Amino acid sequence: MSSYNLSTMSYPNLTTQESYVRPFTDGVTIFSGIIIFLFCVIGILLNTMTILVIRKSQKLRNVFMLFITSLCVSDLMSALISPLFWYRRTVGFDVWIPPNFFCKLYWGAELMTTFSTSMHILNFAFLRLLSIQHPVVFQRITKRGGLLWVLTIWVIAFLCGFVTMWLFTGADPGVKRDRYSGEPNARWPACTVLLATIENYKKFSLSSYNIFILLPMFAIAIVSVLICGSVHKHTKSSTMTEDAAIKRRVRKEKQAVLQLVLIVCSFIFGYLPFVTYELWATQTDAGPVVDYWFGLCQYFCLRFSECMNPVFYNISSSKMRRYTKQYLNNTCKDCKGCERTENAGSRVVTSTSTREATGV
């Protein structure tokens, strides 16, 4: 890296042999770092807290919360690998210094969590529809059955996302990116799709992104409409009765709809730009500046979406809010208790030391 300056390096253009300047400045490196690392910290804190709240609250341990916990795990993994994206798009744009393992790890984990999130939300929506339209059938789903369901989703995401991208991607550590090669991947970061696998990756992306993201989006929209229709019918029926149990059930269904709508909107906001960029970048020959900024902005949307999910879980569920507040209060009390214990212990030590020094 010492043989050239990252902020001023230039190469001949991919096709015109004119000077080519890196498509971002040092200011963009700092700006994107602030945003991505901020999202990283927020994502880790909020998703970890949500997982702990659900695990510590017996009344939150149901099939729906199992799916939400697994979704939080997926978002947490995305937050943990987000610094690799920042490095890939900035400092390591032309020269990838870390071992190739980290490049493959980023891509594999990124696509695995993407496919996992999509399948989780689709199945979560289906469960909501089942619980509203066929509550008797829904009640037959055990926690063990729900756990196997979630594990199946992760196995599919691992095989179709992680393993596949591990084979398709890579980097040459310490090797300066050849920006004037004229190859299809010359404008991309140093850690990217391997030249030998580009054609296969194009076929894979067209099929997998349609199967795992676009089709689930369409299916989720249909299921959401069906859920809203069912809840609307139940709401009209509840106005004609004084049965408190029915009214309570309708109120819970409305909260469930709100939760689903927020999760789905967040999913579309984050993942539609992602899949659009991934398909666009492999099928077009846009300039490096457009490609760079499209790739950066779609990732901002993705990270924002994954940070907002834990917030939406609390906004849409009074029970979740109650147990979150209880968890935070207990955590604060434990911290204050530890602090008082430490202070008391230090006072005892000081008193003992004083007595020993005075010979009392």
CB 194 within 8 A of CB 171: no
Neighbours of 143 (CB within 10 A): 12
Q: Which residue type sits at 204? A: F
Q: In the predicted model, what is the mean pLDDT of residues 162-172?
A: 96
State which amino acid sits at residue 48: T
Instruction: State whether residue 16 is helix, strand or coil.
Output: coil
What pLDDT sits at residue 259?
Answer: 82
17 pLDDT higher than 50 = no
Say if residues 154 and 70 touch (Cβ distance below 8 Å): yes
Report d(CA 354, CA 360) in Å as an integer.
8
Res 342: pLDDT? 58
Residue 19: which pLDDT band, with cuts at 50, 70 and 90?
low
Task: Give the HSE-up count for residue 144: Cα atoms under 13 Å, Cβ half-sphere.
Answer: 0
Cα–Cα distance measured from residue 100 to residue 338, given in angstroms and rounded to the nearest whole number: 44
For the chain, what percent of residues have pLDDT higher than 90?
Answer: 51
**At a CB cut-off of 8 Å and minimum separation 6, what does 89 contact?**
24, 32, 189, 292, 295, 296, 299
pLDDT tens per residue, range 86-101? 999 999 999 999 999 9
CA distance 265 to 57: 27
* Centroid of chain to Cα 334: 30
Distance of alpha carbon 302 from alpha carbon 271, whole angstroms: 6
Whole-angstrom distance between the N-terminal and C-terminal Cα of the chain? 67
Q: What is the pLDDT of residue 353?
A: 53
- Looking at residue 281, its pLDDT comes to 87
Lowest mean pLDDT among 61-65, 223-227, 255-259: 255-259
Residues linked to residue 11 through DSSP beta bridges, in sequence order: 20
For 35-44, b where at least 16 C-beta lie within 10 A, e where not — what string? bbeebbebbb
Q: What is the mean pLDDT of residues 235-251?
A: 71
Q: What is the pTM of this model?
A: 0.84
Q: How confident is the model at residue 9 (pLDDT cuts 50, 70, 90)?
A: very low
**Average pLDDT for 156-179:** 94
Q: Structure tokens of 176? A: 């300066």
What is the per-residue pLDDT for 12? 39
Amino acid symbol at 301: C
pLDDT the model gives residue 6: 35
List helix spans (H) across the chain: 26-56, 63-89, 100-133, 135-139, 143-157, 164-168, 198-209, 215-238, 244-283, 288-315, 318-358
At 311-353, the pLDDT tens digits run 888 887 788 888 888 888 888 887 776 666 556 555 554 555 5
Q: Which of 48-52, 60-64, 344-348 reaches the highest mean pLDDT?
A: 48-52
In DSSP terms, 208 is beta-bridged to: none
**Mean pLDDT to the nearest integer, 20-45:** 92
Distance between CA atoms of 118 and 212, rounded to whole angstroms? 7
Predicted pLDDT at 345: 55
Residue 228: Cβ within 10 Å count: 15
In this predicted structure, what is the pLDDT of residue 341? 59
Residue 187 in this model has a pLDDT that exceeds 90: no
Buried residues in 77-95 as b, exposed as e (16+ CB within 10 A): bbbebbebbbbbbbebbbb
What are the pLDDT digits (tens) for 136-155? 898 899 889 999 999 999 99
Residue 279 corresponds to which amino acid? L
Confidence at residue 320, expressed as pLDDT on a 0 to 100 scale: 85
**Going from the N-terminus, what domains does the chain have, and what CATH number goes with each?**
22-333 (1.20.1070.10)
